[in-house]
Structure 1
């Protein structure tokens, strides 16, 4: 076993994350590895649809911008890189990355991990949609994609074969971190204790700035230093699986017991049985020690078995989403916005012969994020009427946008700033597949 500690950092916590903090960390962090987590559940369905319709690359092309700023610092230092930005087409992402590496004058072996696309492997009549009594057969005409959450095994194989950059599709977030750690320390994934602690590292780092105060901050109780300059975190991991988390001293934000606790519980249903493809984790006994100066030691994840099935994200065509907004200001702006909504709803029924119950109505500045809030004494000086509809009929989507825009001269006075949008949507449902049915492999040039 390699006893040398291993420093791993995170370069992105989601597809639209900032570039500069990753550049800073790659340049100044003295890293052994950097992981870029870029894939949400819905993202891969959208990418699969774009690939099949020829309207997109199938992978998150922004990864090339991330690599352009970080690889010149990481690769010469011998650091390895993992990412799930391959989305629906890891092979194409790997090919584009090889071109970028050449253009940068660097040398690197780039591998793609494939096999998470399981649409052709599913028995639609028996694959049950989780949380329902339906099967995928019931929505077979709407299916776009089906990608299983894979674990770290193939990523580790890629590193063992000499890859410097591993690009996967729908692997779990934690696997991006487990693979470099397991490869460095020589941990077997059958060692569930080591895998649990490596997955804990991944879980804490995967959302990048969320661990260093980004989602933590407010203007009153939880103020942080220089929130405009939040740094991404890194972890110094020891051979026993313990880790000390920190950030660059030149960056803003905060990393302490509070931020670690918030991230530890992020997206957790049962803290004693958090399922990943590699291990089910019990977080109940995790010890968090605040060392001060934005350094926190965390250790103590325990294994609770390994799931026999893998979760599958299934993309389904979900029709059109039309959103139309108009702003009202001044005295009685809420009442005028309500009148505007009533006009559109009545025309929706009486002129267009549609059910007004289809329409979603909210007032930005009043109840758009908290529709249950009923404080009628509040009187904002301005409000934005937002009306939307989800429909499989494009004509209905266009009609809503037209009706809201017509409020300029056919609605209450004082309306302005109309915006409209119509987009095809991909929804996500989930099912399970036996882990033995999923065969992944590493593609090297």
Structure 2
């Protein structure tokens, strides 16, 4: 097979339920080699596991079939573009069968391949007996009968093998988000397991486009600059060269923008240590990645390094831990926030008294959040008393009846509450299962992957390990501020000096900050210490622990906040269980900086 010198990859989705704008854009563009789809957040896995438990033909991202593939089958066949998707979720064979049925009904000749073996649910008893421990907290495994799903995060080489066998559409289970892109690069360029820098570069490209328009203006700090065009936001296209360098762009005549800011924000999104970002195929070092604006809506990305290869797969399990529910009401008028808190406390006390009377234990957790009361912004907030707030009341309990009882008291207490209560009339909220995440590591050699395509079922070989398993990066010191005698300091919000984006990994939050100008970084870093960020978010964190990392290439900082999300995902009772707002809170931080640096 002759190797291409470059390829074009479109990133069509970042989660299950995303709009279907991308396919029309990419097929109109007409010259893409691959379109990749990422559907599988941890929350999504728990939802899919529940769907499969109710119907054995489900458990995959149905939107991929009905919205992305089926309506576009003829155009996909005519263009020759290859589709790669982890839409298989916890039931990739059912997803592949649904697509094959659509192809047959359309009378087309497209080959579908499915990669299986990541599902370790049949082995949970064995893993529990073997003493498996949670990879972050080191807790013991939940009881096997409570585990709903258990999937290894597999890498890119099986995807490349499926493409080599002639697949037009590749379906995986819990393939890592970025690996669907890396698999295309491995196939197109013939990259081998020991070309670590190239594997890291391909992984970076996958990381940048895996969340669709988040790299083309969506969730952008400077959203006002692109607001008028976001209705038709363009989905990302990566032009990747054989050496791994890439240009991020978007289809012609689409909205949004591609800039150093949009790409930098996405680079920082939901990573941990940027010098040790572990993926199945390579341990990446993104700390010295550089971004260069080379044209309108074109940003060149270079500088990723590969430091080694993990010997284990990460395995994420979802397990049932009781029930939860929440509901939102509004309070208006004088002392709206105070009235809302009083009402929530009244509801909680009534519910707990009834639980006691029935011999039922108290709630595992009750969370009350007042939206419109700005006290959660911390000491820097200029507090303004609001005359209209929303109050969210949520609880968690092992007994479904207890959760239902609190919901009844929310509405039942309305006539004996402070004045100004309002709510949207309709169906009362219902209890839903609490699904928690539990992650372990298992040796790669213990996970057998197989490829199912028109040739039948074949076992995929184990990927050989490179001679060097890990070479640590040398950390770079953050430059110190240089204050001259005649400098005049001025104080501005961090947002004037930096872009920011935040996200989650289980119960951990990350906040990435990228300086708009290299000269700003020392002044930003002087204020944004780990201690400062810990203080700013102390009310969110059960046991404050923060890591700060420096990325000299951008330049930027990444903060990882541990135990910050109330359990994270669907286990959390928070308004923001995925830390999407954390960067917005931090960008309000006042930063003192010399006027001459700011003006330059």
**How far apart, in 2, do the equivalents of 1:444 and 1:139 lie?**
36
The SS at the match of 1:76 is: helix
Matched, 1:298 2:295: no
Superposed counterparts of 1:271-350, under 5 Å: 271-350=274-353
Deviation of residue 431 (structure 1)?
A: 0.5
- TM-score normalised by structure 2 residue count: 0.70
Q: Cα–Cα, structure 1 residues 69 and 294, in superposed 2: closer, same or farther, change >3 Å?
A: farther
Deviation of residue 312 (structure 1)?
A: 0.5
Superposed counterparts of 1:10-409, under 5 Å: 10-54=11-55, 57-64=58-65, 65-121=67-123, 122-125=126-129, 126-136=131-141, 138-218=142-222, 223=226, 226-353=229-356, 355=362, 358-366=365-373, 370=376, 377-409=383-415
Q: Which moved more, 1:41-50 or 1:388-397?
A: 41-50
The SS at the match of 1:75 is: helix
Deviation of residue 218 (structure 1)?
A: 4.3
**How far apart, in 1, do the equivalents of 2:120 and 2:152 lie?**
6
Partner of 2:484 in structure 1?
none
Matched residue count:
442
Per-residue displacement from partner, 1:301-354 (whole Å, max 9, x unpaired)? 111010011101011102211112221222332232222112112212333326
The SS at the match of 2:128 is: coil
Q: Conserved in 1, the CA contact under 8 Å of 2:178 and 2:210?
A: yes
**How far apart, in 1, do the equivalents of 2:377 and 2:146 lie?**
31
**How far apart, in 2, do the equivalents of 1:352 and 1:391 lie?**
11
Deviation of residue 70 (structure 1)?
A: 4.1
Q: Cα–Cα, structure 1 residues 219 and 172, in superposed 2: closer, same or farther, change >3 Å?
A: closer
Q: Conserved in 2, the CA contact under 8 Å of 1:235 and 1:243?
A: yes
The SS at the match of 1:291 is: strand
**How far apart, in 2, do the equivalents of 1:371 and 1:398 lie?**
32
Q: Conserved in 1, the CA contact under 8 Å of 2:14 and 2:39?
A: yes
Let me know the Cα RMSD of the aligned residues: 2.2
Q: Conserved in 1, the CA contact under 8 Å of 2:325 and 2:430?
A: yes
Q: Cα–Cα, structure 1 residues 264 and 151, in superposed 2: closer, same or farther, change >3 Å?
A: same
- TM-score normalised by structure 1 residue count: 0.93
Structure with the bigger RCO (C-alpha within 8 Å, sep 6+) is: 1
Partner of 1:443 in structure 2?
452
**How far apart, in 2, do the equivalents of 1:241 and 1:2 lie?**
14
Per-residue displacement from partner, 1:23-82 (whole Å, max 9, x unpaired)? 212322521000010111232233123212338711111111122344433331111100
**How far apart, in 2, do the equivalents of 1:37 and 1:185 lie?**
22
**How far apart, in 2, do the equivalents of 1:251 and 1:108 lie?**
29
**How far apart, in 2, do the equivalents of 1:296 and 1:7 lie?**
14
**How far apart, in 2, do the equivalents of 1:377 and 1:153 lie?**
53
Deviation of residue 421 (structure 1)?
A: 3.2
Deviation of residue 377 (structure 1)?
A: 4.8
Give 5+ residue unaligned stretches, structure 1.
none
Q: Cα–Cα, structure 1 residues 237 and 70, in superposed 2: closer, same or farther, change >3 Å?
A: farther
